[in-house]
């Protein structure tokens, strides 16, 4: 009986577990019923009605924007902005302290004006005095007259500092003083007067001699006629031989007298010639001394002028053209400058702006004259000041260092896309973008697809 009871209990237990499993399956089936599935898989009605239209609208909007938005094809390169007549750089020729600035940044300067002065051994007063004294000396060399002798005896000259040219300056003063002494020296003039008197005396004596010779010639002519008569009488035997010889002797004496007078006249002429030579020597010596002193003055003045020219080139920074001065650095008086350092630039007036762009060789063939250029200057950030508009003007046919040079003109000058007038600085640098094709975004996308298909 116990066994039978136990079996009965086990039999009653198994139906209970089976019933639980059945209940669980029924619950799951209930969850997956048709109503629940309808709720889970139901699509809202607005999606059915507007979904396709919305997608189409988005596609059309994308196409419209891709057509509206321009995505130009550009070639970029480094640009240096200058002027058609490039600015002239003023370079320091020597090392030294910047002693004086004559013009402010942005000032107008005329050709030949001083811009700055580098420390040097000459003072400004000394330079001015050297110029004045040289000008006076040159005027004297042309006119042989000193109009302002006081400049050579200036009592303030000891306060001037002439540096290396002091020796030439002293030599010039000495030469001028020698010339004045020569002109004021009366010894040679008196000597000339005395010699002139001697010449005058001998010339008068020569005239007397000429008259005496003429008289003697007359006497000789008479004596010859008389001798001819006596000679005829002698041959006729009318007079004696003694009388004939006496008459011949008289004729010889007259002839001798004529010859002696001629000899005296020759000696007189020789004496006149000698005194003329003495007079010429005196005048020549005087003129030679004048010439030598003038040559010394001219040489000294040339040396002074050459020194001033060299000084000007070395220490004075001078404008070689007229235009606007531009400082190339933070420049102030008393700063030290190195030789061959560009300090200033002169920008010519009414000068068109031009840009020089270096473009790499890759894609260079797409550049054509007349294409638009967008210029972004480093000095003026384009986000704040805008871009400059340029046009391709000239294209170099030959490359250098694997790059080509392209010239850009600026039709609007330095007025940016924000209507801001930019201030020009010599050789401003930046980036130039040459628009080779003004493509739209959709064109660029189609080009990409075309490239993929061709590949």
Give the tens place of pLDDT for each residue, 272-307: 888 888 888 888 888 888 889 889 989 998 998 898
CATH number for the domain whose boundaries are 73-85+352-438: 2.40.30.170
Query: For the chain, first and last CA: distance in Å?
Result: 94
Is the model's pLDDT at 163 over the cut of 60?
Answer: yes
Answer yes or no: are the C-beta atoms of 80 and 407 closer than 8 Å.
no
Tokens of 4: 């039978």
Local confidence band at 39 (pLDDT 50, 70, 90 cut-offs) = low
CA-wise closest residue to 156 among 118, 125, 195: 125
Fold of 118-312: Helix Hairpins (1.10.287)
Q: What pLDDT, on the 0 to 100 scale, is given for residue 2?
A: 40
Domains 73-85+352-438 and 118-312 share a fold: no
- Comparing 17 with 399, the larger pLDDT belongs to 399
**What Cα–Cα distance (Å) separates residue 348 from each residue in 80, 321, 345?**
17, 8, 10
What mean pLDDT is reported for the chain?
A: 80
Q: How far apart are CA 332 and CA 310, in angstroms?
A: 24
413 or 31, which is more confident? 413
Instruction: Give Rg (Cα) of the chain.
Output: 60
Give the rounded percent of residues in the chain with a pLDDT score beyond 70.
79
Question: Residue 13: which pLDDT band, with cuts at 50, 70 and 90?
Answer: very low
- Does this model's pTM top 0.85? My answer is no
Q: Where are the domains of the chain?
A: 17-66, 73-85+352-438, 88-113+319-337, 118-312
């Amino acid at each position: 009986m116990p066994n039978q009871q136990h079996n009965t209990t086990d039999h009653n237990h198994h139906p209970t577990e089976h019933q639980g499993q059945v209940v669980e399956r029924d619950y799951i089936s209930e969850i997956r019923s048709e109503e629940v599935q309808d709720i889970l898989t139901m699509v809202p009605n607005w999606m059915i009605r507007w979904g396709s239209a919305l997608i189409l609208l988005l596609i059309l909007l994308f196409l419209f924007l891709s057509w509206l938005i321009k995505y130009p094809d550009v070639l970029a390169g480094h640009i240096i902005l200058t002027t058609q007549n490039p600015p002239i750089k003023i370079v320091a020729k020597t090392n030294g302290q910047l002693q004086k600035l004559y013009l402010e940044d942005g000032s107008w300067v005329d050709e030949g004006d001083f811009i700055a002065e580098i420390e040097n051994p000459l003072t400004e007063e000394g330079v001015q005095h050297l110029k004045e004294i040289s000008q006076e000396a040159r005027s004297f060399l042309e006119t042989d007259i000193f109009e302002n002798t006081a400049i050579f005896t200036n009592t303030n000259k000891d306060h001037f500092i002439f540096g290396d040219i002091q020796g030439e300056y002293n030599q010039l003063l000495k030469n001028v003083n020698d010339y004045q002494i020569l002109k004021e020296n009366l010894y040679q003039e008196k000597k000339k007067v005395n010699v002139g008197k001697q010449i005058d005396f001998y010339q008068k004596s020569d005239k007397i001699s000429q008259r005496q010779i003429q008289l003697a010639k007359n006497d000789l002519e008479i004596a010859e006629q008389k001798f001819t008569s006596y000679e005829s009488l002698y041959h006729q035997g009318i007079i004696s031989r003694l009388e004939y010889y006496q008459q011949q002797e008289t004729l010889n004496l007259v002839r001798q007298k004529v010859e002696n007078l001629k000899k005296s006249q020759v000696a007189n002429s020789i004496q006149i010639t000698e005194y003329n030579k003495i007079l010429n020597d005196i005048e020549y010596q005087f003129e030679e001394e004048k010439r030598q002193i003038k040559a010394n003055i001219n040489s000294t003045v040339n040396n002074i002028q050459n020194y001033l020219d060299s000084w000007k080139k070395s220490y004075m920074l001078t404008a070689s053209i007229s235009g606007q001065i531009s400082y190339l650095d933070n420049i102030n008086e008393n700063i030290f400058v190195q030789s061959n350092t560009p300090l200033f630039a002169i920008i010519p007036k009414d000068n068109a702006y031009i840009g020089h762009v270096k473009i790499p060789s890759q894609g260079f063939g797409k550049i054509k004259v007349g294409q638009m250029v967008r210029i972004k200057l480093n000095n003026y950030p384009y986000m704040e000041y805008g871009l400059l508009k340029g046009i391709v003007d000239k294209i170099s046919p030959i490359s250098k260092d694997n790059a080509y040079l392209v010239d850009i003109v600026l039709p609007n000058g330095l007025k940016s896309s924000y209507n801001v007038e930019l201030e020009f600085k010599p050789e401003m640098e930046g980036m130039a973008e040459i628009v080779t094709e003004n493509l739209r975004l959709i064109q660029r996308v189609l080009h990409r697809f075309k490239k993929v298909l061709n590949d």
